[in-house]
Amino acid sequence: MSIQIYNTLSKRKEEFKPLEPGKVKMYVCGPTVYNLIHIGNARPMIVFDTVRRYMEYKGYEVNYVSNFTDVDDKIIKKANEEGVEPSVISERYIAECKKDMEGMNIKPATKNPKATEEIGGMLDMIRTLIDKGHAYPAADGTVYFRTRSFKDYGKLSHKNLDDLQGGNRSLLVSGEDQKEDPLDFVLWKPKKEGEPYWDSCWCQGRPGWHIECSVMSKRYLGEEIDIHAGGEDLIFPHHENEIAQSEAANDKPFARYWMHNAFLNIDNRKMSKSLGNFFTVREISEKYDLQVLRFFMLSAHYRSPLNFSADLMEAAKNGYERIVTSVDNLKFLLEKAADAEKSEEEKQLVTEAQGFETKFDEAMDDDFNTADALAAIFELVKFVNSNAKADSSKAFLEALKQEIVTLSDICGLIVDKKAEMLDSDIEALIEERQAARKAKNFARADEIRDELLAKGIVLEDTREGVKWKRA
């Protein structure tokens, strides 16, 4: 089956057909770096990283570009508060963002362009738009995009220009009297005291937000791209304005497929600092492995609103640990397994296990339905737990382990955890407990169990021997 993508532009699922066979050009709007990223930022990062991973699993070469907005009012405000240059703030939080992304197992982008490094390209595109009659400079040096000059304006958000006239605050900026039309938006704006600025032929100033992504996408992916993605809050005006600028400047369709993830709510309410329900990824990492956050984000379809709560995070933790435990069991059995080829019965069971991979693929082919894909992994885990035995061949156990690890990896879930080394004194205690049990000294065996528990080591007695895990 081919990959079907829900395209915000057409409001329907479409078969994915790349511009260039075997290649995918993908642009994802990144964060504005003035603080630690919050869990709302994490959702598109995780969702579209998973889309990229699945595309790569399907054999595509993915050129994945995601920007950092490193010049912005919020960055400038924070820099002024701290008495430092804005670049100090942006570089600090780019570094922190990358730490969090690593914790969530997000693959590094092919390119992470920064807005401040692309000013030359922005000035060039603005000049092109002026020359083509799509933009105009005002008396104070502000350059506006002539919105009505782009006849398809509103095609992404499915908004009518006349309905927007004068009504939408997100399009309105200071200096309304300079505009030819209230709907025109800023491409370049004059500097204010204490702000970073760049020279242009119109004034010393800095770019508007929308032009940044148009230019960075064009530079690193070309004039036409396959997929443009981001949160649904970006559809209007940001992505709508990107389309207008890019297509007016380049005279080509900008992106074939527009993908948007739905909002994240906290305990059924919109996340906001004033409500006290604002969580950074860093705060979550103090309580949970960030793999749990990733699992949680993928437990719903990306176009469905997702509700974040303590209960749902606990459920995600349990779900993730089920997969990790299954892989750990396989590793335990592998250590003791006979180095033999698969029996006929085992070959049949491996074929059966591959059926879950087919289910997984069908779910992901249907607009990247990660909720159903995870359900297929759970079915596989249940199957493995029922069929992996102490007398199973090494080849069989390896095949099962590979199956779980491969599918989990497509979701960006690390389930083959590196073995943790126990301190020698803890190893000695486990051995002593084994000896005490053999000698039927159960009181001492229980003492040791309690002692280990106090050290955060949980023991589990199984038919195959003693297993341990950290509490």
Distances (CA, A) of 139 to 179, 192, 208, 211, 221: 10, 16, 17, 20, 35
CATH number of the domain encompassing residue 71: 3.40.50.620
Under 8 Å between Cβ of 19 and 25: yes
C-alpha span between 131 and 249 (Å, rounded): 9
Q: Where in the sequence is the domain holding 109, given as residue range(s)? A: 18-115+262-308
Q: For residue range 263-287, list pLDDT tens digits in order.
A: 999 988 888 777 878 899 999 999 9
Total domains, the chain: 3
Q: For residue range 154-173, list pLDDT tens digits in order.
A: 999 999 887 776 444 444 44
Same-domain check for residues 304 and 328: no
Q: What confidence score (pLDDT) does residue 171 get?
A: 45
Same-domain check for residues 323 and 394: yes
Same-domain check for residues 315 and 389: yes
Residue recorded with tokens 């719903």: 300
Same-domain check for residues 443 and 359: no
H helix intervals, 117-190:
119-131, 161-164
Distances (CA, A) of 313 to 38, 289, 293, 301, 307: 16, 11, 7, 16, 10
**Cis preceding-peptide flag for 86 (omega within 30 of 0):** no
C-alpha span between 393 and 134 (Å, rounded): 69
Q: Which of 241, 274, 308 is the last residue of a domain?
A: 308
C-alpha span between 85 and 76 (Å, rounded): 8
C-alpha span between 55 and 444 (Å, rounded): 55
Same-domain check for residues 397 and 456: no
Tell me, yes or no, whether 302 lies in a domain: yes
Q: What confidence score (pLDDT) does residue 468 get?
A: 80
Low-confidence ranges of the chain (pLDDT < 50): 166-174
Tell me, yes or no, whether 323 lies in a domain: yes
C-alpha span between 172 and 194 (Å, rounded): 23
Q: For residue range 191-201, list pLDDT tens digits in order.
A: 999 899 999 99
Bridge partners of 66, per DSSP, are 28
Under 8 Å between Cβ of 158 and 171: no
Q: Which of 277, 292, 308 is the last residue of a domain?
A: 308
Q: pTM of the entire structure?
A: 0.89
Tokens at residue 247, please? 């297509």
Backbone angles phi, psi at 134, to 5 degrees: -95, -5
Q: What confidence score (pLDDT) does residue 50 get?
A: 98
For 197-208, b/e burial (b = at least 16 CB within 10 A) is: ebebebbebbbb
Local structure of residue 303 (DSSP, 8 states) = T
Same-domain check for residues 344 and 279: no
Same-domain check for residues 321 and 355: yes
Tell me, yes or no, whether 232 lies in a domain: no
